Structure 1
Amino acid sequence: MEISKLLDRVESNAIVLPEFQREFVWKNSQAKELMNSLFEEFPIGSLLTWETENPPEIKNEAIDEEKHALFEVLLDGQQRLTVLYMLIKDEIPPYYTEDDTENDPRDLYLNVGDGKFHFENKMTREGVEWVRVTDCFNGEVDGVTIAQKKLGDKPEPVLELSKEYNQQIAQLQNVTTRSIPVETLPKSADIHEAIELFDKINSQGTHLSDAELALAHMSAEWAYIRRNMKQKQAELATQGFEFNLNFYVKCMIGTLTETMTYEQVYNVSEDELKSQWYELAGKDNKDGIFDYVINVLQNDGQIPSSDYINTRDVLIPFIVYLNKQEKQLSHDEKTQFLRWLYSGMMWSRYSGSSDTTVEHDISLLDGESPTDQLMQEIRDERGRIEVQASDLQGRGKRTRRFYNMVRTVIRANDPVDWKTGEPLKGSYELESHHIFPKSKLYEEYDSGNSTHRKLVNEIANRAFLTPATNKQLGDELPESYLPKIIEDHPSALDSQFIPDNGELWKLQNYEDFLAKRRELLADAINDYMENLVVGEEGNEEQESADELIHKGENTRIEFKESFLYDVYREQANKDLKKEVAKEICALTNSEGGAVVIGVKDDTKEIKGLDRDYNLMEKGKDSFGLQLRQEVSNRLGQMMATAYTHVRFEEVDEKEVCVIWVDDSPKPVFFEEDDSEQFYVRTGTSAQPLSIQEANKYIDEHWNQSPIA
């Protein structure tokens, strides 16, 4: 079929694109090569369409199903057809939106002198023979005008040259008359047969990966799964965690099948797909397993963004385990999994056949001690977990597995800025600073020698500072600026494991400095891994129930006599449960703290939990379940699973419940009767704030936008 007719059919929605298809992902180089092939009359392959009366969901809802009895669904060739449509029609095809196009090929130029193509740059802007390809197709290019610009007022030479130019322009315009073979699947084919045939034919061009093919099959069952994945992808990207769609597909495969066998999800029902996706992403795109993992990485793991993760696959076994455990992890399990995540990244656990390795590691999750088995796999493969100084020798920023671990350990060691003394925590954007400046080192070392370049750029010659401080230090030598830093901020060097021996700061002792700092960094990594502390600021908040009761109520400690039992009516009162949730909300929005249930607030008398247990079908088990449900329903699932830690203790032969509450990294609202209220801890009680007060508080504590 002629290209012009194909494009007209796209314009009229006679050819449509199914929802499961990818976005426009071709690079500019591919678009240029396509046009060059057509210009030179080389073959460009065929298109694959599927005629059906029952189409899958269509991208961009580009058709009125009532007006079409038979649909021609484009299965293969949308990248080529999109390039042609945008260059010839100068518009985005109706099956895409602007957000669906990663690159725009309409800045492609043709040189009418030699017939070469090039994307816009200084050469195309200043050269008179360069014209936009789209302008050639819409009739805005004339060879005479171009020839006049090149030769000036010389009628005969201009006429001769314009003929050559117009010949090139006509050759380009004739592309619209070229024919592209169109292969068509019969109406009898179903969607899975269409996708499988598509994959077989799709051996040329931008080939589908196994994950992309699995996503296409899942889209055949749940049309909008791709759209849902992209929404979650965009939401997590705003938090600093950028993962491609393949990662989300693999998480679905892992949690649905506990394998990495892509074909096993080809026929999973829409209901199963939705149910599993909502577990991962959250029903309203929040409080899902992904959110829990990000919380653990940022708040417990000193990993502020995906830039610190050198292999995304290391997260998949953790995500599968969380799915199996319904996001209920003990403090020890969280610690052990973080230790394993660090080890897996440092020792490149998934550098080879990653899917095979991920599947093997998933198979270990049902063991009695899964993290022990996972760690043993790394030991068996690498011989050890511990880092040695020699592992860091010659390793620079490109060796992400060690570079990221050094950054993580330094973040965990309370570093401060070398100029201001401000803690370098939270959302600070840090730059990698050469302690010995490159400009000085290359006076001693050969920049053309790869061994010398590795020495200059070693991890051991890096510190992490704010961009402003990095710029201020410039090319000063450490023997000049480090003494001043120690004087102003005594802990600054220790926090980044920098040798304090002034002799090592001299340029002639650079390699001795590297050797010493490698030792310090290796020891720091091993110590951090060995003594990993998760979710605690030392042990100051982890007093026993007896100690909390002895202290009495204050800004961080709240007593509740019961959870469900009304001491005045001597019967169940569900309103009491929401009072506990309010106190938890107030504490997490303040500085965190503890709620102790089973203690009379005014006298500190131990009442215990038996009266609550007696009102519940399964006693203590029901108590814990109802407590989690109340927190989840009122404050969100993340509060129930990530920011509250419940334990039961015996005091004076009576059992009490202690709920440790972390301070939240973002505002938490209390939900009641379809409305939200913001609580903070004031004195010994939870106090609601007005919208104006809440806006001010949120801005001061989290630097976030006000609420409406």
Structure 2
Amino acid sequence: MAFQTPQHELSDYLKWTTSGKIQLPDFQRSYKWEDERIRQLLVTVLRGHPMGAVMMLATGNDQVRFKPRAVEGVTLANGVEADWLLLDGQQRLTSLTQALTGDGVVNTKDARGQKLQRKYYLDMDLALQGDDRMDEAVRSIPADGTIRSNFGKQIDFDISSEDKELEERHFPLRLLYDPLGAATWLTKLPDVATTMPAFMAQVIQPTNTYDIPAIQLDKTTSKSAVATVFEKVNTGGLPLNVFELLTSVFAGDADYYAEHGEDFRLNDDWHQTQEHWKSQPVLETVVSTDFLQAVTMLTTLKQHRAHTGDRPPAVSAKREDVLKLTLKDYIEWRDSLRAGFIWAATFLADRHVFKAKEVPYAKQLVPLAAIKVVLGADADLIGVKERIIRWFWCGILGELYGSANETRFARDIESVPGWVKDPSAAVPRTIADASFVESRLLSLSSRRAAAYKGIAALVLAQGARDWMEDKALDKVQYVDLAVDIHHIFPQKWCETAGIDWSRCDSIVNKTAIGAHTNRAIGGVAPSEYLGKIEKRAQVGAHKLDGLVAGHLIDADLLRSDDFNGFFEARREALCQLIEKAMGKDVQRDLTAGEATEDASAFEIEDLTDGEDHFDGVE
């Protein structure tokens, strides 16, 4: 890669952006600077202070092919070809182009994100008092030239015509780099003989020689170098993620262009993937970078297995390895992974996870889909599926996918496929690492916690039915019944009875029921609401007790309003359910009647997660 670092005058940049000599690669984020940030940029120019370098890539590179688009606010004729693509400095040059050329109207927004159209003016009297007044002198004015109050009924300041601009001595900055236009405007001032020379000398002439340094990358710049550029020097906005970086690399694939006659559009391809998944709500949790990580795992796994030397390449899902993907790698795995994620969605449905917000760990879908691709049709064999299910629940109930996911991804894709096909193979680390202690049930109160969601789904999956309508809480009925998780002993009753809050709000005292049933429960004692349900549903006590038992609840303890007995019995029932799912013992660290021992370590986590769910009628 070769580059130069010349200085160019701002006037040249404005000519190049408006003529199309400088354009943007079409994957660059849209223009988004706020009004005050633009105003401060203009102050910087008028004071002659440096604003930082811009970076441009010469077009015509055989390795890096980008589809160009005009700087926002500029309209170009068809067929106008760019000489340079702007890699860094988009927000600054777009702001300056809109504010200092044409009609000077900038499409921006205020600090609250409300869209605005503004023009920028210079209060001449303040500007001529010296550099230290320049911040006050630069004014942002609504595009119609009027500042209003009283809900727009009263005009407080009006420069909506040239005559009014002259009267208020507010120079339109759209003329700053238009010598003829600026001179024509200035000659109309009443005191032109004294003001015009001073203004030209102190404002117009210095800004017309204002320089901005450039870093210009030549036509030999490689794909990896461009990716590094986007990663390291995108100073005008948020750092680009790996999806955006690979968008730039894939768009420049010369072989694809030679075969198809057009560039590969990764963003368009991702939209096609989402369209492919639209019937699977749980896949709304999967983002573009997740998909790329799955591709990377499969790519590096293939390379690892094909290596014949002493040090095979590592299986990886790390960012630096995602950036090494080629378009060929991506296309090789794309279709099978699209199907793999759909399989993962049906896998979740079989586990009674139906909605995006109920997915315990969205990131666990990445290795799950990749494991399906590796296993192929074998993933649905009974014994294989049972072991995948065990791995899945160990990850959730062991709460292992909350951080350091890339390392766990790699370990799982290496070990899980072999173990699920041959249980005599080494047990995957996710299963070996997973553990659950009884006291964790006391601190699981946040619906954002993975284990909370997992336990709720496990209860449904073992046969829970709605108490009012005796319907299976499956994928169809779950939506029809508006199922959600609610307290068994209502909050209001618990408060009155003096029940410790950690036990009242624990997952032990919650279960999934339909909206109709929850309205019947209200905030009264279980003995009272069970009677109400019997009456409304016209169901006998024995039948209702069976439906309640389907949620691992002892109905006799509900009917006697025995919270402590209920809590201890259900806590033990949930421990046994968790043991069955994980295939390993739950450590019992509580004694009968014990409330919160060892729970404090988890309370901060749950508070951070944010418990924002309350039963509507309680």
**What range is the shorter-chain TM-score in?**
0.5 to 0.7
Q: Does 1:414 align with 2:463?
A: yes
Equivalent residue for 1:437?
A: 490
d(CA) in 1 for partners of 2:152, 2:508: 61
d(CA) in 2 for partners of 1:480, 1:43: 75
Equivalent residue for 1:332?
A: 383
Deviation at 1:289, TM superposition (A): 2.1
Deviation at 1:439, TM superposition (A): 3.5
Equivalent residue for 1:378?
A: 430
d(CA) in 2 for partners of 1:310, 1:60: 41
Q: Describe the shift of the 1:455–1:15 C-alpha distance in structure 2 as closer, same or farther (beyond 3 A).
A: farther
Q: Deviations over 1:10-55 (max 9, x none)?
A: 676554433554x4597xxx84774575477598755433221246
- In the TM superposition, what are the counterparts of 1:583-662 in structure 2 within 5 Å? none
Equivalent residue for 1:525?
A: 578
Equivalent residue for 1:302?
A: 352
Q: Describe the shift of the 1:332–1:19 C-alpha distance in structure 2 as closer, same or farther (beyond 3 A).
A: farther
Q: Describe the shift of the 1:37–1:69 C-alpha distance in structure 2 as closer, same or farther (beyond 3 A).
A: closer
- In the TM superposition, what are the counterparts of 1:549-568 in structure 2 within 5 Å? none
Q: Does 1:236 align with 2:277?
A: yes
Deviation at 1:254, TM superposition (A): 1.0
Q: Describe the shift of the 1:296–1:501 C-alpha distance in structure 2 as closer, same or farther (beyond 3 A).
A: same
Q: Does 1:499 align with 2:507?
A: no
Q: Describe the shift of the 1:328–1:186 C-alpha distance in structure 2 as closer, same or farther (beyond 3 A).
A: same
- Higher mean C-alpha displacement, 467-476 vs 407-416: 467-476
Query: Identity of paired residues, percent?
Result: 19
> Which one of the candidate residues 76, 90, 96 is aligned to 2:88?
76
Q: Does 1:247 align with 2:290?
A: yes
Equivalent residue for 1:402?
A: 451
TM-score of the pair, normalised by structure 1: 0.55
TM-score of the pair, normalised by structure 2: 0.62
d(CA) in 2 for partners of 1:277, 1:168: 58
Equivalent residue for 1:611?
A: none
One-letter amino acid of the counterpart of residue 290, structure 2: F
Q: Is the 8 A contact 1:37 1:43 kept in 2?
A: no
d(CA) in 2 for partners of 1:458, 1:175: 67
d(CA) in 1 for partners of 2:80, 2:20: 10
- In the TM superposition, what are the counterparts of 1:436-585 in structure 2 within 5 Å? 436-443=489-496, 453-485=501-533, 487=539, 490=544, 491-502=546-557, 506=561, 509-528=562-581
Aligned length: 470
Q: Deviations over 1:601-654 (max 9, x none)?
A: xxxxxxxxxxxxxxxxxxxxxxxxxxxxxxxxxxxxxxxxxxxxxxxxxxxxxx
Equivalent residue for 2:183?
A: none
Q: Describe the shift of the 1:72–1:521 C-alpha distance in structure 2 as closer, same or farther (beyond 3 A).
A: same
RMSD of Structure 2 on Structure 1 (CA): 4.9
d(CA) in 2 for partners of 1:349, 1:305: 21
Equivalent residue for 2:216?
A: 184
2:555 alignment partner, SS class: coil
Q: Is the 8 A contact 1:504 1:510 kept in 2?
A: no
Q: Is the 8 A contact 1:46 1:77 kept in 2?
A: yes
Equivalent residue for 1:311?
A: 361
Q: Is the 8 A contact 2:92 2:236 kept in 1?
A: no
1:248 alignment partner, SS class: helix
One-letter amino acid of the counterpart of residue 369, structure 2: I
d(CA) in 1 for partners of 2:514, 2:50: 54
d(CA) in 2 for partners of 1:171, 1:199: 34
Equivalent residue for 1:97?
A: none
Deviation at 1:193, TM superposition (A): 1.9
One-letter amino acid of the counterpart of residue 552, structure 2: F
One-letter amino acid of the counterpart of residue 411, structure 1: L
1:304 alignment partner, SS class: coil
One-letter amino acid of the counterpart of residue 522, structure 1: C
Q: Is the 8 A contact 1:411 1:424 kept in 2?
A: yes
d(CA) in 2 for partners of 1:25, 1:204: 10
Q: Describe the shift of the 1:481–1:356 C-alpha distance in structure 2 as closer, same or farther (beyond 3 A).
A: same
d(CA) in 1 for partners of 2:80, 2:508: 66
> Which one of the candidate residues 270, 273, 277 is aligned to 2:327?
270
Pick 1 or 2: higher relative contact order, CA cutoff 8 A, min separation 6: 2
d(CA) in 1 for partners of 2:399, 2:364: 9
Q: Describe the shift of the 1:65–1:246 C-alpha distance in structure 2 as closer, same or farther (beyond 3 A).
A: farther
Deviation at 1:238, TM superposition (A): 4.6
Q: Is the 8 A contact 2:250 2:265 kept in 1?
A: no
Q: Describe the shift of the 1:229–1:302 C-alpha distance in structure 2 as closer, same or farther (beyond 3 A).
A: same
Equivalent residue for 1:53?
A: 60
1:339 alignment partner, SS class: helix
One-letter amino acid of the counterpart of residue 395, structure 1: L
Deviation at 1:248, TM superposition (A): 0.8
Equivalent residue for 2:115?
A: 107
Deviation at 1:239, TM superposition (A): 1.9
2:216 alignment partner, SS class: strand
Gaps of 5+ in 1: 93-100, 113-133, 156-161, 282-287, 447-451, 532-708
2:569 alignment partner, SS class: helix
Q: Is the 8 A contact 2:294 2:369 kept in 1?
A: yes
Equivalent residue for 1:646?
A: none
One-letter amino acid of the counterpart of residue 512, structure 2: F
d(CA) in 2 for partners of 1:314, 1:149: 58
d(CA) in 2 for partners of 1:264, 1:458: 41
One-letter amino acid of the counterpart of residue 76, structure 1: D
d(CA) in 2 for partners of 1:175, 1:146: 35
1:422 alignment partner, SS class: coil
d(CA) in 2 for partners of 1:14, 1:303: 53
d(CA) in 1 for partners of 2:493, 2:419: 55
Equivalent residue for 1:323?
A: 373
Q: Is the 8 A contact 1:417 1:424 kept in 2?
A: yes
- In the TM superposition, what are the counterparts of 1:24-39 in structure 2 within 5 Å? 24=30, 31=34, 34-35=37-38, 37-38=40-41
Q: Describe the shift of the 1:518–1:205 C-alpha distance in structure 2 as closer, same or farther (beyond 3 A).
A: farther
d(CA) in 2 for partners of 1:327, 1:276: 16
Q: Deviations over 1:39-85 (max 9, x none)?
A: 77598755433221246242779999983454332323456677889
Q: Does 1:351 align with 2:406?
A: no
One-letter amino acid of the counterpart of residue 184, structure 1: Q
Q: Deviations over 1:296-355 (max 9, x none)?
A: 222x33222333333233233333333233444322212211221121122122333221
- In the TM superposition, what are the counterparts of 1:659-678 in structure 2 within 5 Å? none
Q: Is the 8 A contact 1:218 1:265 kept in 2?
A: no
> Which one of the candidate residues 267, 270, 275 is aligned to 1:226?
267
Q: Is the 8 A contact 2:483 2:514 kept in 1?
A: yes
Equivalent residue for 1:136?
A: 141
Deviation at 1:500, TM superposition (A): 1.5
Q: Describe the shift of the 1:45–1:347 C-alpha distance in structure 2 as closer, same or farther (beyond 3 A).
A: farther
Q: Is the 8 A contact 2:352 2:474 kept in 1?
A: no
